[in-house]
Structure 1
Amino acid sequence: MNNDNNEFLSEQLSASPERMLRLLNEQQIILDNAGVGICFILNRQVQRCNDHYATLYGYDSPAQIQGLSSRAHYPDDDSHDRIGREAYPILAQGRRFRTEARMQRCDGSLFWCRLTGKMVDPEDPARGSIWIVEDIDQQRRADDALKALTYQQQLILDHAMVGILFLHDRQITSCNHRFADMLGYEMRELIGQSTRIWYPDPAQWEIAGRYYSDILARGQAFRAEIQLLRKDGSLIWCDVRSKAIVPDDLRQGSIWIMMDISERKASEQALLQAHQALEQRVEERTQRLKQVVDDLHREIEERKLAEERIRHLAQHDGLTGLPNRTLFEQRLEEQIARAEREGHRLAVLFIDLDRFKHVNDSMGHHEGDMLLQTLAERLRQAVSGIQTVARMGGDEFVIMLPDIYDHTQVETFVRSLQQSLQPHINTGLHEQRLSCSTGIALFPDDGTTPQTLIQHADAAMYRAKANGRNRFHFYNPQLDREQLERVALENALFHALQHGEFELHYQPQVDIRTGRIDGAEALIRWNRPGHSLVSPGCFIPLAEECGLIGDIGNWVLEEACAQMQRWQREGIRLRVSVNLSALQLEDPGFCDRVAQILERHTLEPDQLELELTESLLMKHVDATVDLLRQLDRMGVHLSIDDFGTGYSSLSYLKRFPLDKLKIDQSFVREISIDQDDAVICRTIISMAENLNLKVTAEGVEQTEQLALLAEFGCHQYQGFLFSRPVPAPELAQLYRQSQTETEPAWEI
């Protein structure tokens, strides 16, 4: 063991008995739930193992194995001795030993497994070794079956009466004797050769490659009769058939079957020549009359096509070929008049593709156009009869459903439409999944003109999108009122940023051991004129939608640093944490802005803590790592907010230069009554300790919660138990009061 491990062991041995028992329990849980067999070997005897190890060798419990010689797991002495000779020289060097071997269960049955061993302490072999055993018996059996199948296939290839070959990137990877004989080569001469050698002309080779590649890429079989060049320069006709091994990935290669049809082609050629001679005589006598008639017909058809093309372009969308807004409104007006005469109802569906902007931004407009064309085709297939689908522009489509009786009929159609959009779409090299938000307006309930119905269906679509996407919503007058309110709120939000209506409140962050405030989280509030103080949950989502979140985030950062400077002048030095948005992380100049703000307010970088949510960290891992490393080099503290809700893996978490984890309040809320939440909190704290991270618990409201967090080793907490978020002057007062505490609040 190295010095670090010795120091760690010394610390553990000097810990309290309760902590030692807790550590042993945690280690036993890991052993009991491991997916591999784990055992401790000393003098080639099993000292200790987990349940999975006992199960692998057919025992009911680890107790039946303890004390057994490892020889009991080997089929014979030779294999037992061989592993010892191979393994222990490597283990003695402190290296890991790995091998695959056949082992023996207690009932005498044999199975293949993978062994991995390592000395507990290479400097003291008497301390034994740890071995991990993985059952790979099924894998080895599958490998043997694959070898047998490959041998059978080779026999078929060698004795086939047709030429068979495999190509990869238009090069021969293997072929049978019949194919080599057809072209006059030895098999060894063909392996690795380009298919160019049997094409008479390079241009013909290029054209053929493009032609059959398109067919194979669609998962179809290619078949053609092709003239091939033999080694001696002579030509033969072959019936050629091919199919991609993996239709979705031509890089996996293709299989080709060829049959010599030179004799049949010679007979067909002779018959064709005789037929052509006869046809030529007839053609010469009718050509003059036909030419005159054709010229006349051509002129008439060209004029009709030109007129039809102009009419079509004026009424249809150029990308999808669907009716455009003009033609749709014309048809809708006709159906409204018919519905009025016959007392029918009709529906207008306004459809918007979900997250289409993401496709355009991340994959380009070409793939976006392909996606729109596919969506248009699926919508076209969904309608029938006098129903009409049209493209309004961008990713917006409308459908008219005449002869509607009730809402249920419309809902049935929309659900069927959503079902038809579920299959994935391949656009170039990417696979996309379609989903749409649909708004519905009914005639005459929601309007009596095409413009009104389309407008109201559009408003209902926005409500459907706000409800979670891939949904539908019927129009109601409340939507108009909500839309007006939303526009008013958006305008007020712009006004608030320009006229200083925002303010910051600060929630204290308290050291659990001392009970003193040692930090604060900056939380924005909107002091909207004529309203009570507005919390961020009411306006931050709207700010994200209308693009204001970046400016608001920068204001919060500036104001928080300015307040730290004011506190500093009063003798209060607090680290303040500020939440970051996705737009700030995507700003290439963000690090420079942070440095400028700190310099402007004469603050040390470690006084500022930036909080990122776990889900935001995992969204763009590589780019986020680079940004955080720059901030870390500056000295700015970094923390994960709402930890435990973003499902990040530990391997990713280790990549980020973090200083703190904040346990989400959803886990803290019931920590004193829910054993699962208690285990989660204790695990997060233990993990953070191993990663040398500080831990802050959010949403602490009860003394029982705080007592458990202190017991688990949590460093800091915030919540209503100590204080709600308060204005800056009140926080200064709370800070001074907390510093007068003479005794620690908790012993950890």
Structure 2
Amino acid sequence: MSPVPSAPAELLPTGEVLLIVDDDTPTRLLLRGVLSRQGFVVIEASDGMEAVALFAQHHPALVLLDVMMPVLDGFATCVQMRALDQDAGTPLIMLTGANDLKAIDHAFSAGATDFITKPINWTLLTQRVRYALRSGQLGREVRRSHLRQLSACRIAKLAFWEWRLSDDSLHWSDDLHAVLGVASPAVGWLGELLALVHPDDRTRAQRLLTLTRQANTPLELELRVHTAGIERLVRLVGERGVQGADQAVVFGAVQDVTALRQTEALVDYLALHDDLTDLPNRRLFLRRSAEVLSTLDLDDDEVLLIIWLDIARFHRHNEALGEAGGDLLLTRLARRLRRLVVVQDALARVGGDEFALLIRAATLAAGLDRLESILVQLRRPFHLHLAADETILTFSVGVAVAPEHGTDPNQLLMLAQDAQRLARSQARAVLVATPLPPSQSRFTETLAVERALHTALERDEFFLVYQPQMELRTGTIVGAEALLRWQHPTLGMVSPVRFIPLLENLGLIATVGQWVLEEACRQAQRWESAGLNLRVGINLSPRQFLEPNLFATIQQVIAKTGVQPAHLELEITESLAMQDPTSAIALLGRLRAIGLKIAIDDFGIGHSSLEYLLRFPIDTIKIDRTFVTNITHAQADRVIVRAVTAIGQTMGLSVIAEGVETLRQCDFIEALGVHEIQGYLIGKPMAAAQLETLIAEFVRPGADLALSD
């Protein structure tokens, strides 16, 4: 009987394809009948050569292969199939005689997965086949996982190690050389590893290793190692095994984090320092001020002076000395200020010729005395070697005092700036700001806002606006960020900067956040129904994100509104994600698993989180507007945007730049490789209906200029 003709691959049924190879027609027919009834699609061959051709054509899920056949026997056929199969791991089951042990051994040598003896036990046949298919699938998954792991380790410069506590021997994975620049035999013992460690790090490393040995504490440290003439910064982690003999072994990983730490340090440093004077910038100054304010002893009348210092008529010095001379003068002034400011104080360059100081003192009088002593030193001549004459500077200074004038660092700095401007107009050297009268007290005003917030939601005073996001490659609007607004009947439009922190403090943010989530999802669903393929970004507040039932809440809202999860993008801040990275990674993974997109907002102004960013399941990085504002003339901001964009591209993430307001900013952003932009250049936050009109009529900004050229 001739073999049953097999259908072309594209016409085969959807069941798994099995290939039966046997020159005995009755056996083939019996096998086909049994397996077909189990839902398998069966193709047949009567000799090995025909079987190899069918295997190459159809890539069957499993092969049942007789040993004794004409043209090409089962062993040779098995060898050729395994060569075609490569790493796919297709189960190849040989049909052999019951007592033919030599044939069974030969079958395994040829690449067979298993064997079934003749006469065939038909009752057990399908169970053996299904078991082989499951084992094959598992094997393929294991191989794919192993290959992915190898790729990830190679990209992350990661290797694995074992430390046997009984004799201090070390055993490494094969990729150690790529991580440490040294082969495994060179570091086979703990002492050999410690010999590579920088002397300044060695004592710390020995102490932590001893703790791991004696107290069974997890090992986690970063240290410098010197191999092949290169100093590397490596991260070493490990922990003891938990069962049996493994309890005497520490299992761990080692990673070369040199480039990672350099990039983190560069991004963090440039984000927080002035590129000319190398002083802290306004962001870092405000952060330091907040830290000091939190430790201020109010019971002991301790005060904090926030000082705004401006060089009087600096433009005249700039004109006389030239731009290079003016820059040199500023750097010399910064150097002198650094020597005058003590450790517990703070210093920053906050403008072209403007500086901020923080002085902590027992009393206001003591603080002003300290300020005066600094000013005396700053009035001493500067010798620049660019001109024969000495350069003498004069200053106008404004002072705000905490807690008298408040405890908000930004408000205090603005108050000090206002006092400095008033001092300049009155030709005074130093002016302390005047507190607000009781009728204008910020405290009284805040209480009124707090009272109104308690009923704002039930009175329908909250509403959402949407700020469009444009894809630079296509010039089309592809998304919108949902933003909360509050219109009060008497207070009017209240700024989110004022009411959102109050919602957090009053414990109302979870309720309002739930409303925002539902309203944004409802709007996204309306746009879906209208045929608008628009991604809607929804901000999660810190308290929302830390709610234990957040995942269930989001699932309920999606089910309730009927929105497609793919049209939603949840935005969390970098600092929020870093509060508990392990929990954040788990939660974000669950959210992405149901189809939601995840964005890290305000990236670059929070923690140095590049190490964790590699593990966060995210889709988008949003570059904070602070790096975009001065991108056309501040090299430091361009470096930061370029670095963040490179990170995003490497990880396959989309990068959105916020706060783009001009075409020139847009050109710089696009040249640096950013994918999308958001800002007033595209559109201010607007109502949903206005956004629909904008999309219908949208023309990329600058397109008319390009056409006219």
Q: If the length of structure 1 is used for normalisation, what is the TM-score?
A: 0.39
Larger radius of gyration: 1
